[in-house]
Amino acid sequence: MSLNWNTITGPQVLVDSRKSKRNIKRMQEKAASAHVALRPHFKTHQSVTIGKWFGKPEETPIAVSSAEMARHFADAGWQDILLAIPMNPRALPAYNRLAREVRFGLTIENADSLKAIARLLNPVDVYIEIDAGYGRTGISWRAHETINLILEQARTMPQVRGLGLLLHAGNSYTMRGEHGIAQIHEESLQRLAELIENLHIPQHELRISVGDTPTCSRMESFLGADEIRPGNYVFYDWQQQRIGACDWPDVALAVACPIIGIYPERNEVVVHGGAVHFSKDSVSIDGNSVFGQVMHQTANGWGSPIQGAQLVSVSQEHGKVRVSEAMLKELELGDLLIIVPAHSCLVMAAFNGECTVI
Amino acid sequence: MSLNWNTITGPQVLVDSRKSKRNIKRMQEKAASAHVALRPHFKTHQSVTIGKWFGKPEETPIAVSSAEMARHFADAGWQDILLAIPMNPRALPAYNRLAREVRFGLTIENADSLKAIARLLNPVDVYIEIDAGYGRTGISWRAHETINLILEQARTMPQVRGLGLLLHAGNSYTMRGEHGIAQIHEESLQRLAELIENLHIPQHELRISVGDTPTCSRMESFLGADEIRPGNYVFYDWQQQRIGACDWPDVALAVACPIIGIYPERNEVVVHGGAVHFSKDSVSIDGNSVFGQVMHQTANGWGSPIQGAQLVSVSQEHGKVRVSEAMLKELELGDLLIIVPAHSCLVMAAFNGECTVI
């Protein structure tokens, strides 16, 4: 599709379909050659249009992170949906409706949640979240006894269709480069293997779901896992580039922002594009929080990063961009800057999944 | 209105109408006694329902920060709308429609913008933004010559209805306590007065619009100003409480989040409520970024802050809350935590203005 830049009036998300589809295909090929299933996490894009780039809805198992998101994709034809966040007992009626309509999976991390599941009228898959070192949610991989108790209880319940273990090695986000990612990857899988050895239930009765974008992007083997569950790779972003999970040409999402102020005395411009568009997620450059990287504009999208041109602060609707003296001289009010955000998932959430596909 | 806590299933914004209406009334009384007009900034709430708490739409001049927001409130009956962010030449068609329907004001900060205004078919008010030390947008208060040139040119244009100067002393946000706020307030107004003395156009031909929530909340006089333009005061938030712009009982917005994980070994719980709900805006406590303060729940809302119970990290949908050992023992999965966010404007933007009024 050819892009008419003149139709862009305000901050607008651009998705480069060629790059995104290439990212999707690459992960599918990797999963196939690693002999694991792929369950992409759809919280990154939240878009039905983009969701269909992954394949036919009825043939694509997905992960989501809220009951609303599950409802959104169930209504659009997806039929195997895993809620990859610990279940919320208050959302039981929503879960029940979903479980009636699709193959629906819930994530739990304690025996109490089984009491809520016992009140469901339709069966669900139940995944126990394992914390293998990230320290956000999940039961410690060392807590064999607790996990065995939950599995034994769950396995007897008529509301439980399939049983699994779920792992998200979010600590891979603190790494830099393939070596660091590999370290977290190996540590997590090793801890999972150690746990599985100590379970009373045979491994083949459990579905093992792992994954986060850095490890899934850079690692080739997922020994012990039945499926991988990355999400961000559909677009990537500046954080992923910094981690080393992708390279600049893989980044498939940017925000086009019009320049509304030019300040030669401080080598800055201000764009319409602020915290409500970029979120306040950042990367750390020389100890400073930076919110986006300005890219070279091309006829139909963007190319490489412009050295020294970065979104250095955001308030609600304003974004302050530092540029070189030479670049500033070329800029005029109303020109667009194409900015790759720190974190594309939060940008798509801020725009409610609305974007211009190029 | 009585609140049925059982109907809250997921993260939900609660607005305490009693506190909010008291905040609105207090600012109206202050403006009246200071002999300035009040033009509340509606970017904070973005809600037509809450907008009507300020008075009849047709009698309430407002400020907004995007053409979309102006359209939203124009459609709902507001008739005097100032876009208090530098104009975006790409949005001219939207501005033109607004100028046909309502009294519409644009903010500019250079002569180039007048070329765009010259293409409008309907007259607008034009405000020149002055930078009195904040350093985000606006022309330096010292640039008398530039400002005189723009004013002289603008005043001859048929598209220009009224002329004004606009100031936002956003540097008040870095202050702590009344003394610091007073310092910024006095400095800004003094710089504005110095500029006005050096203008060729008589002051009575200019409308002087100033304001930000900290100074408007704590100062009593706005010498030299015709109107004040605070926004956040309708709700306030933790940042405003930290600045000293308000006290805890003034904060009228909180987010109710269900507990989805309990971790006695680290005195933490995890709620459904993350960056897509709270944004990643924070306050700094002992050098750490903290995203929200947990409040005592009452039958119909919330009371004072719970010491030591804070939202210490957020990922997309998860929020990690540190609590005391004693508090943790009382909590169960599915319980709600009532959390005052760091920045209420970004929360309302994240929820698209949707909230439960109590």
A172 pLDDT higher than 90 = no
8 Å CB contact of A88 and B170 = no
Q: Which residues of B touch A282 (CB under 8 A)?
A: 280
- Smallest Cβ distance to A88: which of B66, B88, B258? B258
As a whole number, mean pLDDT of residues A282-311 equals 96
8 Å CB contact of A275 and B279 = yes
Q: Which residues of A touch B333 (CB under 8 A)?
A: 89, 110, 112-113, 116
Contact B68, A10 (CB under 8 A): yes
Per residue in A185-241, pLDDT (tens digit) is 999 999 999 999 999 999 999 999 998 999 999 999 999 999 999 999 999 999 999
> Strand pairing of A336-341 and B139-140?
unpaired
- Residue B178: the pLDDT is 85
Q: Report ipTM for this prediction.
A: 0.92
Tell me which residue of B250, B245, B228 sits closest to B33, measured CA to CA: B228
Domains defined along chain B, listed by start: 5-12+252-357 (2.40.37.20), 18-235 (3.20.20.10)
- Residue B232: the pLDDT is 97
Question: A1: pLDDT confidence band, cut at 50, 70 and 90?
Answer: low
Question: B107: pLDDT confidence band, cut at 50, 70 and 90?
Answer: very high
Nearest Cα of chain A lies from the Cα of B204 at a distance, in angstroms, of 28
8 Å CB contact of A318 and B349 = no
Q: Which residues of A touch B288 (CB under 8 A)?
A: none
B91 pLDDT higher than 90 = yes
Nearest Cα of chain A lies from the Cα of B198 at a distance, in angstroms, of 22
* H or E segment and range at residue A166: strand A160-167
8 Å CB contact of A10 and B170 = no
Measured N-to-C along each axis, helices B67-75 and B92-101 cross at an angle, to the nearest 10 degrees, of 30
Phi, psi of B248 (to 5 degrees): -50, -45
Residue of A nearest to B5 (CA): A90
Listed range (A49-63, A99-113, B16-30, B167-181) with the worst mean pLDDT: B167-181
Per residue in A115-136, pLDDT (tens digit) is 999 999 999 999 999 999 888 8
Tell me which residue of A72, A12, A68 sits closest to A48, measured CA to CA: A72
In angstroms, the CA A107 to CA A97 distance is 17
B45 pLDDT higher than 70 = yes
As a whole number, mean pLDDT of residues B162-178 equals 87
Token match 């016992």: residue?
A118
A183 pLDDT higher than 70 = yes
As a whole number, mean pLDDT of residues B6-29 equals 97
8 Å CB contact of B261 and A352 = no
Contact A98, A67 (CB under 8 A): yes
Provide the token pair at B228. 């004040």
Q: A-B interface: how many C-beta pairs under 8 angstroms?
A: 145
Per residue in B238-248, pLDDT (tens digit) is 999 999 999 99
Listed range (A11-25, A310-324, A329-343, B1-15) with the worst mean pLDDT: B1-15
- Residue B40: the pLDDT is 98
In angstroms, the CA A190 to CA A188 distance is 5
Mean pLDDT of chain B: 95
Per residue in B52-63, pLDDT (tens digit) is 999 999 999 999
- Residue A170: the pLDDT is 81
A171 pLDDT higher than 90 = no
B162 pLDDT higher than 60 = yes
- Residue B329: the pLDDT is 97
* H or E segment and range at residue B84: strand B80-86
Q: Which residues of A touch B266 (CB under 8 A)?
A: 135
Q: Which residues of B touch A350 (CB under 8 A)?
A: 276, 349-350
Per residue in B295-332, pLDDT (tens digit) is 999 999 999 999 999 999 999 999 999 999 999 999 99
Q: What is the 3-class SS of B293-334, one letter each residue?
A: EEEEEECCEEEEEEEEEEEEEECCCEEEEECCHHHHHHCCCC
Q: What is the 3-class SS of A38-78, one letter each residue?
A: ECCECCCCCCHHHHHHHCCHHHCCEEECCHHHHHHHHHCCC
* Residues of chain A above pLDDT 70, percent: 99
Question: B172: pLDDT confidence band, cut at 50, 70 and 90?
Answer: confident
- Residue B1: the pLDDT is 53
User: Which DSSP symbol is given to A26?
Assistant: H
Contact B310, B293 (CB under 8 A): yes
A25 pLDDT higher than 70 = yes
* Residues of chain B above pLDDT 90, percent: 93
- Smallest Cβ distance to B10: which of A91, A266, A270? A91
Burial, A27: exposed, middle or buried (Cβ in 10 Å; 0-12, 13-18, 19+)? buried
The residues, ordered by sequence, that sit 6+ positions from A287 with a Cβ below 8 Å of its Cβ are none
- Smallest Cβ distance to B67: which of A10, A43, A112? A10
